Amino acid sequence: MFPKGPRFEPLKCPSLLAHNNYISPISSPVPDVPGPNSYNIPQDSALDNYKRGAFLEKTDRFMKDKQPALPAPSTKSSSGPPASSKVPPTQPAIERYNALQKKVYDLEKVHLEGKRAHQVELERLKQELSAAHKTTAESAERYEKQKKQNIALDTRIQEMKKTSLSDQSEIKELRHKTRLLELEKDKISSKQPDIIELKKSLSALEAKRKDELKDRDRRIDDLEKLLQSEKKKRELAEGKIHESKRLFEEETRSIRANTLQLEVLVKEAQAEAQTTKERLCEMEHEAADREEALVQCLEQHCSLLNTVAEQYGNLVSQSVASTKHQRLQQDYDALQLRQFRLERKLANSEGQVVELAHLIRQIKSENSLLNELVSNALVDISALAAFEYSPLIRDDLDVWSQLNIDDIRTTILEQSIVEAEANADMQALLSAYYRTQNDELQATSSTLLKEYTDLQNLAEQRTYDLSSALASHEAIAARLESIQKERTEHDDKIKSATSAVDDLTATVALLETQLAESQEEVHKTKSQHALLLKKEKDAVTRLTSTVQKNRVAEDVLRAEIEQLTTELADAEQYQDAFYALHAEVEKLVTRNQIAEEEAERISKFNAEILGHNNPAQRIMYVDRIRRELAEAKHKIAMLSREQENVVAQNDDLQNELDMYKSIQVPLEKKTRTNITRVGRPPLVNLGNSLNSSLPVTHVSNASKNLSVSKEPIMPAPQVPEKPPQTPSKSRTPTTKPTKSTPLALKVYLVAYNVISTLGWAYVLTLTLIHLFNIDGRSDTVQAPRGKSAMSVLSRFTSSMNLPKALRFFASNTVQSRLPSHLQPIYRRSTTAFSRVGPQTAFVQTFAVLEIIHVLLGWVRSPLQTTVMQVSSRLFLVWGIAEQFPEVRSNPLYASMILAWSATEVIRYSFYAFNLLGKNPYVLLWLRYTTFYVLYPIGASSEAFLIYATLPASSPIPGWQSWLQGMWKATDYVRGILFLIWWPGLYVMYTYMISQRRKVIGKAAPKAIKTN
């Protein structure tokens, strides 16, 4: 019937686009209204856009499938202007629109004022409802007490029934006996003659009885006589007892005197034993000292002997005595001088020998020359002899040759003589040299023999000293044995003395026990007689009191039974009426549900029709305002009903209290209790109880957000509750109570929150101690090398074009610009990881249990939110701080730990108090106020720590980034997380501000938030 499409174009205001859920009639600008039959079809569909507000901006009117973007059908002809052409609004239309807008604003203002008044009334009714809950709790307790009393009365009734049955059986038996006795009486009356005879026999029997009585009296007299004799014997026995007591006392006195003497002796023996012990201790100390001294001497002797043996071996192998060494040194010096002299002589003799050898060689060479000459001469002679000369010539030659031969022979003889003399001189020199060598060797051998004899004498002396030391050690050992024997003898004496003392004390104790037993026997004999008399009297009084009590109890029980039966009969009527009312209420609920569904369907259809039949397209959603007013009226009616019930219960309770305090109330109407304990319900469950008593669909948006919503970063409280149910289409009130928490689970969750609070408190205190150097050890902690916070901020600010006023962090001299009292704190913040890093990692890892709690259903927190928070913290602890050393020396790590620890201490303590049923306002205020400071500090520190791990190069691949270091995939992930961190902080910050307004109770925002 109508084309599909939105009523308006998208708004030009970016704030409305960003915050689509909040619409304010003042801040929203006037939209440009297109002409009729011009539509823009959006891509997304919305089924419940008719709930968005009083204006029809950016909404789809239908829930059917979207048709393609085609021009809407027009009432004009096809040759007319196109649908997209806009008709400029006239001035009267704008004025009319502004007037309507003012009217709507006034209506909304009136509506908000009514809402505020209703909210105040609702708070008052909530307080009254809490008081009513108190009264209901008290009445429930009273009911439980009455139940217990009824159970006890039932048991008593059963017992009394049993006793009454036994009494009735006894009464029947007694009646039967009386009847038997009456029958016997009748029989006896029928037997009168027999009775006469019996009387006669009785008289005879009486005579006999008298005789017997006389005999008995006689026997009694005899027994009295015997009793007197026994009394006399008893008196004698008592006298003997007194004498024995006197003797016993004398013996005890003598025993006591003996014990005193023995104690004196024991004390003397103890003193002697003490003195002997002291002497023994002194002797032991002396013996120990002597033994230690002897042992030390023996050890010294042993070490000395070892050193002597070693030195003796060394002396035998290497050295001699000092005197001998000196003497040998002197001899060595003398021998060295002598050796020098002999060497000089030897050198001289060697020089002479060399000269002689040269002479001999020269002589030998000359002799060889001469021999050659001789041989040549002989050859010449033989040659001349071979010639045949004349006899004259031959005679001349013979004479000349003979003369030459003689000369040669003489020269040869002379040379042989010279050689013989030279050989004789050389032999003399050699003999002298060997003689001197022999003398030197004899001298050295004689000195070595003397040294050997001296060393033998020294070894014999050392062996004698060793034997004497061993003999002294044996004597000391024998003396020690004798001292030990004396000590054992003294110990035996002390033991015998202590055993004697123990025996004496045992005998004294036995005598005292005997005396006490005898006194106890006397007291027992006296007390037994008194006890017997008291028992008889008590038995008589007890029997009479029990009979009276049983009668009174029977009367009371009969009255109570009758009262209970009447009350049960009355209650049955109320039960039938209750069941009938319950059935009627169920029928009415189903009818109401069907009517509400039909009304909702009709309102949707009506909105569609009205929206598309209006030519000016300025229809406002007054239907929603009417429906909210109807809901508010319904809610007010329900609350007034509950208020009436609470007032009635309060009146009943006041009446009961007045009955407690009043004196004029009769006893049968006064309740049978002395004290009534009024239990206050915990404040943390007040909202849940209110929400459970109200209808689901009529709960305000603030209470819904408080009970269902969750903070995006901070996890839910560790309170196991039933998960929130989604509101159904029906508007029936749900009075089903929430599921109670098991005690063991509650104890575990309280313990978990307490342990987490203590862990984060320990981290916080340790960080503060380190930063302010309270223990004096913070300055000694060395910081791991890495990037500082100022370097990170300077790198971050250098990549941005900041004004001069904001370039404070761009320099590396921030520490020098800080005040003097802040510089040590800044310097210590660089070493915070070395002090609190492992503790923070383990305490934060302990938070993994929160995810397990959500998975097991113990906690009502959203799983996604809890996993995101815990994983982000673990990523910063294990993935950033533990993996990158440059983060550990960053001062931002200290600020992050401070923000974390302060937030977690407040949060976990808040949850622990909630579990215990308490809700301190101080913790509530801190939880929803400290985030103003802690969230920006913690989130910015986390983001800049992630930024500190990024490479210094550009993330865009290029030759510069290749030179400075390319980015890895993990670097890109950390960069994306750094960019995501800031919008996440904004969302979290604005969400916490809205939560603070709702929880602490400031004015609610004017805009209406819808999901």
Q: Which residues belong to the active site? A: 935, 942
d(Cα 881, Cα 874) in Å, to the nearest integer? 10
Query: Would you say the C-alpha torsion 958, 964, 966, 970 has a positive or negative sign?
Result: negative
Give the Å distances, CA to CA, from 794 to 38, 125, 574, 818, 961. Answer: 55, 58, 81, 16, 19
CB 784 within 8 A of CB 830: no
Q: For 617, left (φ over 0), alpha (ψ -120 to 50), or beta? A: left
Decide: helix, strand or coil at residue 733.
strand
d(Cα 766, Cα 838) in Å, to the nearest integer? 12
CB burial of 143-160 (b: ≥16 within 10 Å; e: otherwise) equals eeeeeeeeeebeeebeeb
d(Cα 101, Cα 107) in Å, to the nearest integer? 10
Query: Would you say the C-alpha torsion 477, 482, 485, 486 has a positive or negative sign?
Result: negative
Which of 548, 364, 42 lies closest to 356 in space, CA to CA? 364
d(Cα 872, Cα 174) in Å, to the nearest integer? 91
- Exposure of 397 in the CB half-sphere (CA atoms within 13 A): 16
CA-CA-CA-CA dihedral for 52, 54, 55, 56, to nearest 10: 50
CB 706 within 8 A of CB 998: yes
For the record, the structure tokens of 856 come out as 């097991």
Q: Find all residues with CB under 8 Å of 916, minimum gap 6, and list them.
A: 750
d(Cα 556, Cα 157) in Å, to the nearest integer? 10
CB 980 within 8 A of CB 987: no
Q: For 773, left (φ over 0), alpha (ψ -120 to 50), or beta? A: left
Query: Would you say the C-alpha torsion 374, 376, 378, 384 has a positive or negative sign?
Result: negative
CB 34 within 8 A of CB 584: no
Decide: helix, strand or coil at residue 622.
helix
One-letter amino acid at 552 equals V
Helices H, strands E: what count in the chain? 21, 0
CA 741 to chain centre: 25
Give the Å distances, CA to CA, from 584 to 225, 577, 588, 645, 843. Answer: 101, 11, 6, 20, 58
CB 888 within 8 A of CB 784: yes
Q: For 590, left (φ over 0), alpha (ψ -120 to 50), or beta? A: alpha
DSSP lists the bridge partners of residue 695 as 733
CB 646 within 8 A of CB 131: yes
d(Cα 989, Cα 730) in Å, to the nearest integer? 36
d(Cα 698, Cα 628) in Å, to the nearest integer? 9
DSSP 8-class letter at 37? T
Residue 553 φ then ψ, to 5°:
-65, -40
- Other CB atoms within 10 Å distance of the CB of residue 367: 18
CB burial of 587-608 (b: ≥16 within 10 Å; e: otherwise) equals eeeeeeeeeeeeeeeebbeebb
For the record, the structure tokens of 94 come out as 């704008």
